[in-house]
Each structure stands twice: as C-alpha cells, then as structure tokens.
Amino acid sequence: MSAPVQVPQAPSRQVVHRTRGQSRGAVTRLMSPGDLGEVLKPFVFLDLLDSGDDRFPNFGLHPHSGLATLTYVAEGSISYEDTNGATGILRAGGVEWMRAGKGVWHSGGAGDPGRTRGFQLWVALPPHLELGGSESLYQGAADIPQVGPARVLLGRYDGAASAIEAPSSINYLAVSLKAGETWRYDPPQDHSVLWVGLGKGTVEASSEPLDHGEIVVFEAGADPVEFKALTDTEFVIGSAVRHPHDLVLGYYSVHTSAEALQAGEARIEEIRDTLVAKGRL
C-alpha cells in the first residue's frame, strides 16, 4: 500500500509582538507614533473603541495635520463634525475618512443610545500629500465592498476596491468570522508590514490564540496568514509597503520633516483662530 501523499502547508508569518495597550474609559490605545507606529508605519496609531454599557463619550473639536484618520464603527454609532463642513451620524458598518493634509479640525462623540464599538486608525501621509488640501468622506455600510468575510475599508483586496483613494500602497480590512470558520489573507507581495487588531472574540493564527483587545504584529515578509475563529470573532487587519520617511511628531500631527510640521501647525492655528471667532472654541 502506498504511503499517503503529504500536502505541504503554506508558510505562515509568525507573530513577533502583541500587546493590549493602555485603556482609559471607552478608549484603548493600542498603537502610537512613538511606539508601534515606528514599526508599522504608515500605520501609526490605533484606538480600540468600546463604550460598554454606556453611551459613547464626546470628543470635542481637535486638529490634525500630515496624516489621515479612518474611523470604523463595528457596532452602534458615533456623531461627527469637521471644518470641511460635514456633520452627521455614522452607524454600524460605516467609515469616516479624514485626510488632514496641511490642517483640519474635527470631532466625534455620542450617536444613538447604546453600546458603540469600533477602531480609529491614523495613517502617515507621504510628502506630496502631507501639506496638501484636506478631504473628508463618510461611507455607510452599503458603500463598503465586501469579499467573503472581509470588508475593504481602504485599498483593494481580491478584486474589490475601496472608494477612498489610498495615500500609498495600503490595505485595511474588517473581518467577521463565526466560530470554526477559517479565512486566509494573502497580502500583496510588497506589503512587508502586517498586523491585526482584535475587536471581539478569539482567533488562532500562526498556531497562537489571539484575543479580544490585542494588537498583534507579524514578522516582515510576504507570506500569507490563515485565521481560524475559536469563537465568533471580529478583527481589523492592515498590510502595507513600509513608509520610508521619518515620523516627525506634533501632539495631533505626524509629518516627514520639521519644516512640514511647522507649516501644518501654523495652518492648524489659523483654523483655530477662525473657530474662536465663531465661538466654537
């Protein structure tokens, strides 16, 4: 009798770092530009949002420059406002994209009553965009393309593309799996940066259980990662070509040079003066 054929397993990227970050109320800071942001740039900041049994708190108008923010609502809703003139409510499955460029102010806070869960991500911009104009885009759940269990929040995956114009070669997906389901992510070959943030449940990847509330960093490379849900699970996954520029930091800003940061902060102050004159600050 011939021996059974051994089917080789596809290589898988290994976990090299994991953390639960620091929690303060409804917000858990999983990544900042001064820590994991240096490892995972262009991804430089990630907050896990979860109001629990309470209504989501209000965050007043605050500025950004040199970066883009992407807020994804997995459950519940948040309110939003920005100095490009947009206001409204973002509900479950929706996305807020804010490319700050040279400078913008925005706010977020309580939407409808009840629990709100989601993530806010910051993306560092390349030099040709960091002092450009600001833009905002608000998408409902129906506007976001889906491939199997993955919703394409930014970039493109398996033939589906986000309507948001990504500032560089980036994928950012929201994935939902039922217990026992599997899903494999094959990143573009030049996406050496790869991480996941767990918003709900437990999933196994690279022979390790990854739990709710963690951000998990995978080794640099081009290999895929296969996920198996141990419980009903929701997570976001990011992959990208590494941002080749320095991170020069302000309090709400990330630029590629001190000169660019100075220009961005000057524009932020101009907008602030206008908001003060209108009685908004």
Instruction: Provide the pLDDT for residue 10.
Output: 56
**pLDDT by residue for the chain (281 residues), tens digit each?**
444 444 445 567 899 999 999 998 899 999 999 999 999 999 999 999 999 888 888 888 999 999 999 999 999 999 988 998 888 899 999 999 999 999 999 988 888 888 999 999 999 999 999 999 999 999 999 999 999 999 999 999 999 999 999 999 999 999 999 999 999 999 999 999 999 999 999 999 999 999 999 999 999 999 999 999 999 999 999 999 999 999 999 989 999 999 999 999 999 999 999 999 988 88
Instruction: Provide the pLDDT for residue 2.
Output: 45
Asked whether 174 and 92 are in contact (CB, 8 A), the reply is: no
Domains along the chain with CATH numbers: 15-277 (2.60.120.10)
Instruction: Provide the pLDDT for residue 210.
Output: 97
Instruction: Provide the pLDDT for residue 6.
Output: 46
Secondary structure of residue 272 in the 3-state scheme: helix
Nearest to 155 by CA among 190, 184, 128: 190
Is the dihedral angle over the CA atoms 260, 261, 265, 268 positive or is it negative? positive
What residues contact residue 274 under an 8 Å CB cut-off, 6+ apart? none
Asked whether 31 and 236 are in contact (CB, 8 A), the reply is: no
Instruction: Provide the pLDDT for residue 43.
Output: 98
Instruction: Provide the pLDDT for residue 52.
Output: 87
The model carries a pTM of 0.93
Q: Is the peptide bond preceding residue 42 cis, with omega within 30 degrees of 0? A: yes
**Alpha carbon 73 to its chain's center:** 11
Instruction: Provide the pLDDT for residue 20.
Output: 95
* Alpha helices (H) along the chain: 36-40, 127-130, 258-277
